[in-house]
Each structure stands twice: as C-alpha cells, then as structure tokens.
C-alpha cells in the first residue's frame, strides 16, 4: 500500500488522567520486572470491569475468561495480580485512553517473534503506531520511545537500527476495550492505604511524588516570572498548557521529515496539542523516555526563558539521579532548555582476573553444580498429593473458596471440568499448617496447572507444603572468589556466580513440550559480597539451583521472545561496579530482599545441610 505525504515533528500530548464526565477507554495493565506496563487483552479487561461493577474490593479470576491465565487472580482492593502456583505478586493499574485511539477501535499491532507467533506491542507503542498509520506516514521512528526500531508501513515490517534485522508486523482487529463514563479516578499504579488515605511509602512512589513537587515548583516559578498577572494553574500536569498558545514549530510547519518522529514519551491520537503542552505524569513510568525527551522541546521555548541545567545524572551531586532525570524530562516537555550531562556507562564486569587469583568460596563445598533433565515422580498421583496436605472439613463455613470464588458450602466451580476418582465436588479440605480451606477439587485443579512436583502452595498466604521445585532446563552453575570489591563492600572480596544454560528441547513440564527453546545472554555473571550474609545467600542459591528455581522457560519481558530461558523471580546482581540499571551495587537492602525471595520459593536456612 503506497503511503503519501511527508512527516511532521509532533509534540507529545501525554496520556494523562482524563477529564470528568467524558467517555474513556479502560485498559487494565500489569507491571513487569523491567518497569513496563503490559496490557491485558480486551476480553480480560471487559471481565475485570464487570467484576469491578459488582464488587470494587473483590477478586477477579482471570482463568474464567482466558484459560492461559488460569493461575492468576487480581485483588481489586490491593491492586495486585497474584499467581497461585508460584505466589508471585505484581502491581496492576486501570489506565484510560481516548475512545478514538487504537484500544477504543479494537486495533492491535503485533510483531512476529522467532517462533513465528505474534507478540502485541505495549499499549502506548500501539497507539503511536496507529496514529502514524492513520496519518499515512510512510515510516515511524520508535527511538524516542526507548526502542531502536523503524516501522515501515509499506512493507509492514520492523527493522532494528543497530542490527538491520527485519521482522514482520501486522495490524489486526480485535474486541474493542471497554468504555467508562463519569468521574474517573487517577489510574492506580501502586496501592494507597486502605482506609487512612496514607500514600504508599515505597521508594518508587516517594521518588515520583518528589519529582512531581520539584517540577511543579520549578515550572510555577518560571511562569510567574514570565506572566506575573496570569491566573494560577492547577498543580497537576494532566493536559493543561503552561504557556499561552502560539505558533508551534513542531506542530506542522517548519520541521522536515519523510516519516514521523515522536519527540516525547507518548501522545493521544486525534488530540490537538499546543507546541508547549505538558506531558501527563503517566509517562514517568515509561522506560526510555529520557532518550528522546529533548528532541523537539527547544522549538517551543517562549522568549526569555533561562536555561535550567540538570547536571546530576551521574550521581555525583546532591540530587538523586533519577529525580534529576525525570525533572529534566518534565522541563523539556514544558519547553524549557535543559542541559544534560552524558550518561555514564554501566560497569558490568570486574577487571581481568588470572586463574591463580580465583579461589573457592570459604565454607562452601565445591565450585560447580550441574542440573540434568527432570525425573518425574510417578509414584504419587495428584489426588494423593492433595490428600497428603489437607484435612477434610465436615461442616465448612459459609465463605468463599478463593480459587473458584464459589461458596465453600456449595460445589466447586470446577465441577464438570475435572472428574477425579474419590473426590466429590462438594468436599472441602483445610491445609495443615496455615488452616486455609478450599474445595478439594479446586486444590487438585491448581496442582494440575502447576509443576506437579509433589508440593502445594497456599494461594492465600503462600505457605509451601513439601519441597517446591521448578522447571529450569539443564545447565551449569559455577561460583568462586575474585580479589575485587563491590561498591559498598570495600572491605570484602567478591563472590562471582556464572550461570550457563545451552539451548535445547522443552520437556513435558515446559510450556511447549518437544519444541526448541533459546537461551540468550549466557553465560550470565552475577555478584555477591564475600561476607557472612553473602555466603549464606550463595548457599541458598545453590539449593534453589538444585531445585531448578533460578530460571524457567517463558516469554522475555525485555524482547518479547517466547520459548526462551528467563529469570524466575529470584533477583540477581549482574552489574559489578555500578548500579545504573538497578541490578548492581551499592544496594544495602539487596541481600535481605533476595533472602525474602528465596524464602517465598521455600528455600530457607532450614534447608541448608550441615
């Protein structure tokens, strides 16, 4: 399809919070470990909205609408997604978009992965692509959104600007996302206090709140200097223009380009935005916005605005690096010139180490562990496993079974789906250690949907019964001591862990048995301080490795590639001499955090053998 016309430099209008009493499209999204909000499908969002109308503090069983999401439940009160078979919890949010945008029309943009299947783009990228497509731009540059890709609409392909590799992409029609009317609250990324209204005190929320206050003060000060008689604006950035409308160099006049370049972090399709319009605060959560935040900002700077340098991005000044960076983004979006220093490069590896300097870790036996293919236990049936950990309840209370969401005094919601011998749908059992009660049939369904390793995990309190194992493919784990120190641990040497997993064929416990899986980025190097707690963490990581809990096979949240080896909820430090990515040192809380993650997988100090 031939696409005519040249592109234009468009300022970002932001995906801020919608005004009251207007129709908006609702998209529910979950936060992955890389800080990216991934949208649920339209069908799942309709299901969540229906449950929300009935009980705003209830739970949503996602498996009722999508069988692939059978392990997942959303708790609407805490705004978290809970995976029943692993105990993993992730924040969710209810986000809003214009009805004329891609989700409102049921349009989904997808790219083809290495397994010849299709992966949808993030919602903000999907909206950006659709906006360019509707304006008949021949191509779209995604670098300003943090991705080094070019989209070519004539050939419907995506090209990596660094490797020149091309992939197919497609535009398909799906169910439109649900609409909502009336007064709409702000999208909730992290839960607040249940009844007191106390804001969340986690570091990320505190950082965002600090950024909001600092940037509001800076912009309000500049506005008072330029327009002393102007009416005071609201303290939020949800779509209001700070400067009076005027000719915008970026909105359709002087910029020359064959395709479309997006200088900000996102924009609302069909919305007319002045050249100096402010970006919504939602865009703070989007990774990669720093890379293109200042591309088109200076074209809309009002006369007389002084340059406001932000030179603390390397962490040497008194301002938190992330706070300085996000303040700079907001200033660029407002049309204020910002002087940014060059971002430092992460130090991923230590200086070269000779073989003679590599030593065994004191108190740890050996220097290498290998895992082989899983040997399935055939001695116990799923029914035997469930009966092992429960006690039958003759007179259950009139409460919900949190697996099927039916009352315990009625039959299980899995009646007719499963027909095991000896387990009637009305039977109720109580887990021995924690005392939580469920239908036996529901526990059996949860077990069959998991790893089937002879263990159970309570979906309410995450207590583990038996020895939990994972689906990590065969590989090798090495560990030794190197004569270098980590930032924050100058008095200690460093424990280096090297994981190496080759490509192979998926087994019966994996998502696609018999299909090839990839293993990107191996060998992977990780680091711990050589102190008492660091050696304890190493010993527990060895136990987790033996139980096949460190890695699993799934879809990469970074690349979108499916059937590949990914981390399995136990965080590692892969950055040796810096902490620019969040996966390095100094991090005074890391050792305690990883001990808690190991405990959640059933790996505690009690499991260590003398």
Q: Which whole-number Å values give the CA distances from 595 to 532, 538, 590, in the listed order? A: 13, 10, 9
199 vs 591: which has the higher pLDDT: 591
**Angle made by CA atoms 166, 168, 172, in degrees to the nearest 5:** 155
Task: Judge whether residue 557 has pLDDT over 60.
Answer: yes
The mean pLDDT of 344-354, rounded to a whole number, is: 85
According to the model, what pLDDT value does residue 383 have? 87
Closest by alpha carbon to 202, among 469, 470, 593? Answer: 593
Is residue 506 pLDDT above 70, yes or no?
A: yes
475-607 CATH: 3.30.390.130
Per the structure block, which two tokens stand in for 114?
């290495």
| Partners of 368 in beta bridges | 478
Domain boundaries defined on the chain: 24-173, 382-465, 475-607
Check whether 276 has a pLDDT greater than 50.
no
From residue 142, how far is each of 128, 139, 160 by CA, in Å?
A: 9, 10, 10
Can you give 279-329 as a three-state secondary structure string?
CCHHHHHCCCHHHCCCCCCHHHCCCCCCCCCECCCCCCCCCCHHHHHHHHH
Specify the DSSP class assigned to residue 589.
T
Residue 288 has pLDDT above 50, yes or no: no
SS3 per-residue string spanning 399-466: CECCCCCCECCCCCCCECCECCCCCCCCCEEEECCCCCEEEHHHHHHHHHCCCCCCCEECCCCCCEEC
| pLDDT band at residue 54 under the 50/70/90 scheme | confident
Decide if domain 24-173 falls under CATH 3.20.170.30.
no
Q: Which of 104-108, 201-205, 531-535 is least confident? A: 201-205
User: Residue range 587-598: average pLDDT?
Assistant: 93
Determine the Cα–Cα distance for residues 367 and 497; give it in Å rounded to an integer.
10
**Tokens standing for 438?**
């469920």
Lowest mean pLDDT among 226-230, 530-534, 559-563: 226-230
- Residues 42, 48: Cα–Cα separation, whole Å: 10
pLDDT for 535 equals 95
Beta strand ranges found along 72-221 (DSSP E)? 72-75, 80-83, 89-97, 107-112, 118-120, 139-141, 149-152, 157-160, 166-173, 179-180
Q: What is the CATH code of the structural domain delimited by 382-465?
A: 3.30.40.10
Query: What percent of the chain shows pLDDT beyond 70?
Result: 68
pLDDT at 410 over 70: yes
- Residue 224 banded pLDDT, cuts 50, 70, 90: low
With a cut of 50, say whether residue 608 has pLDDT above it.
Answer: yes
**Cβ pair 32, 189 in contact under 8 A:** no
Q: Of 59-63, 208-212, 310-314, which one has max mean pLDDT? A: 59-63
For residue 334, what pLDDT band results from cuts at 50, 70 and 90? low
Tens digits of per-residue pLDDT, 411-461?
988 887 777 777 888 899 999 889 999 999 999 888 888 778 888 889 888
pLDDT tens for residues 57-93?
Answer: 888 999 888 888 888 899 888 888 988 777 778 899 9
| pLDDT the model gives residue 337 | 52
The pLDDT assigned to 186 comes to: 45
Q: Locate tokens 């082989």: which residue?
A: 372
**Range picked from 87-91, 226-230, 585-589 for highest mean pLDDT:** 585-589
Q: Residue 589: which residues within 8 A CB-CB, separation 6 or more?
A: none
569-586 in b/e form (b: 16+ CB < 10 A) is: bbebbbbbbbbbeebbbe
Three-state secondary structure of 493-513: CEEEEEEECCCEECCCCCCCC
| pLDDT tens-digit map of 381-397 | 888 888 889 999 989 99
Which of 169-178, 254-263, 342-351 is predicted most confidently? Answer: 169-178
Please tell me the predicted confidence (pLDDT) of residue 257: 37
Model confidence at 324: pLDDT above 90: no
Greatest C-alpha distance within the chain: 82
Please write the tens of the pLDDT for every residue from 161-181: 878 888 999 999 999 999 887
Average pLDDT, integer, range 338-365: 80
The token pair that represents 244 in the structure block: 């009076």
Spatial distance between the Cα atoms of 508 and 473, rounded to a whole number of angstroms: 11
């945008």: which residue's tokens? 101
| Residue 174 token pair | 């799906």
Task: Specify the higher pLDDT residue, 33 or 285.
Answer: 33
CB contact at 8 A, 490 and 118: no
- CA distance linking residue 347 with residue 580, whole number of Å: 9
Q: Is 571 helix (H, G, I), strand (E, B) or coil?
A: coil
What's the rounded Cα separation, in Å, for the pair 125 and 395?
53
Contacts of 526 (CB under 8 A, 6+ apart): 496, 497, 498, 499, 572, 573, 574
Q: Give 450-503 pLDDT, tens digit per residue.
A: 778 888 889 888 889 988 999 999 999 999 999 999 999 999 999 999 999 999
pLDDT bucket at 320, cuts 50 / 70 / 90: very low
- What pLDDT sits at residue 555? 87
Q: Compute the half-sphere exposure of residue 562: CA atoms within 13 Å on the CB side of its CA.
A: 13
| Average pLDDT over every residue of 210-233 | 48
pLDDT of residue 592 exceeding 80, the answer is yes
CB-CB contact of 451 with 377 (8 Å): no
Buried b / exposed e along 462-482 (16+ C-beta atoms within 10 A): bbbbeebbbbbbebbbbbbbb
> Contact 207/54 with Cβ under 8 angstroms?
no
Torsion of CA 249, 252, 254, 259, to 10 degrees: 120
Is-contact 137 260, C-beta < 8 A?
yes
**Cβ atoms of 42 and 29 closer than 8 Å:** no
pLDDT at position 373 is 61
Say yes or no to pLDDT of 504 above 90: yes
Selection from 231, 300, 236, 228 nearest residue 264 by Cα:
300
Tracing tokens 């799942």 back to the chain, one arrives at 44
State the DSSP H helix or E strand holding residue 30, giving kind and residue range, or none if neither: strand 24-31
Average pLDDT, the chain: 74
State how far the Cα of 11 lies from the Cα of 129, in Å rounded to an integer. 15
pLDDT band at 255; cut points 50, 70, 90: very low
């Amino acid at each position: 399809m031939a696409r005519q016309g040249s592109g234009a430099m468009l300022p970002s209008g932001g995906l801020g919070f919608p005004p009251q009493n207007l129709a908006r499209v609702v998209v529910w999204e979950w936060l992955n470990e890389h800080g990216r909000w991934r949208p649920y499908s339209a069908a799942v969002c309709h299901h969540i909205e229906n449950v929300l109308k009935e009980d705003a503090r209830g739970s949503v069983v996602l498996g009722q609408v999508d069988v692939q999401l059978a392990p997942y439940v959303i708790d609407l009160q805490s705004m978290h997604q809970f995976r029943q078979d692993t105990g993993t919890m992730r924040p969710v949010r209810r986000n809003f978009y214009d009805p004329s945008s891609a989700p409102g029309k049921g349009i989904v943009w997808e790219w083809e992965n290495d397994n010849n299947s299709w992966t949808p783009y993030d919602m903000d990228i999907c909206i950006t692509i659709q906006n360019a497509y509707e304006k008949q731009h021949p191509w779209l540059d995604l670098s300003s959104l943090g991705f080094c890709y070019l989209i070519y609409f004539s050939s419907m392909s995506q090209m990596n600007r660094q490797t020149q590799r091309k992939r197919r992409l497609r535009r398909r029609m799906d169910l439109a996302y649900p609409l909502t009317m009336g007064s709409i609250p702000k999208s909730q990324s992290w839960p607040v206090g249940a009844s007191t209204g106390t804001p969340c005190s986690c570091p990320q929320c505190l950082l965002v709140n600090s950024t909001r206050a600092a940037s509001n003060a800076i912009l309000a000060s500049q506005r008072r200097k330029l327009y002393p008689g102007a009416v005071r604006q609201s303290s939020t950035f949800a779509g209001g223009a700070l400067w009076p409308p005027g000719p915008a160099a970026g909105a359709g006049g002087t910029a020359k380009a064959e395709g479309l370049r997006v200088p900000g972090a996102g924009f609302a399709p069909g919305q007319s935005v002045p050249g100096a319009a402010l970006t919504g605060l939602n865009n703070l959560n989007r990774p990669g916005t720093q890379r293109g935040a200042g591309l088109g900002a200076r074209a809309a700077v009002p006369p007389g605005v002084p340059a406001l340098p932000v030179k603390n991005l390397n962490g040497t000044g008194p301002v938190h690096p992330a706070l300085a960076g996000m303040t700079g983004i907001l200033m660029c979006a407002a049309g204020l010139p910002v002087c940014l220093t060059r971002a430092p490069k992460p130090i991923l590896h230590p200086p070269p180490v000779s073989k003679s300097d590599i030593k065994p870790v004191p108190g740890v036996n050996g220097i290498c562990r290998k895992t082989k293919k899983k040997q399935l236990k055939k001695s116990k049936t799923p029914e035997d496993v469930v009966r092992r950990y429960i006690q039958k309840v003759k007179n259950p209370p009139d409460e919900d079974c949190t697996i099927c969401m039916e009352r315990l005094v009625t039959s299980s919601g899995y009646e007719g789906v499963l027909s095991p011998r000896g387990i009637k749908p009305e039977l109720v059992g109580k887990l021995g250690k924690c005392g939580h009660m469920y239908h036996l049939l529901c526990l059996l369904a949860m077990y069959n949907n998991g790893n089937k390793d002879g263990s159970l995990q309570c979906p309410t309190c995450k207590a583990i019964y038996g020895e939990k194992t994972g689906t990590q493919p065969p590989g090798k784990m090495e560990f030794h001591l190197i004569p270098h120190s980590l930032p924050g641990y100058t008095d200690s040497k460093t424990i280096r862990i090297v994981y190496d997993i080759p490509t192979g064929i998926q087994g019966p416990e994996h998502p696609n048995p018999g299909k090839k899986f990839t293993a990107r980025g191996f060998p992977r190097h990780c680091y711990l301080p050589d102190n008492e707690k660091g050696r304890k963490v190493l010993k527990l990581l060895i136990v987790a490795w033996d139980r096949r809990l460190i890695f699993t096979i799934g879809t990469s949240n970074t690349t979108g590639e499916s059937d590949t080896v990914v981390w399995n909820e136990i965080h590692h430090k892969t950055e040796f001499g810096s902490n620019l990515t969040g996966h390095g040192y100094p991090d005074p809380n890391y050792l305690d955090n990883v001990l808690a993650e190991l405990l959640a997988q059933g790996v505690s100090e009690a499991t260590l053998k003398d």
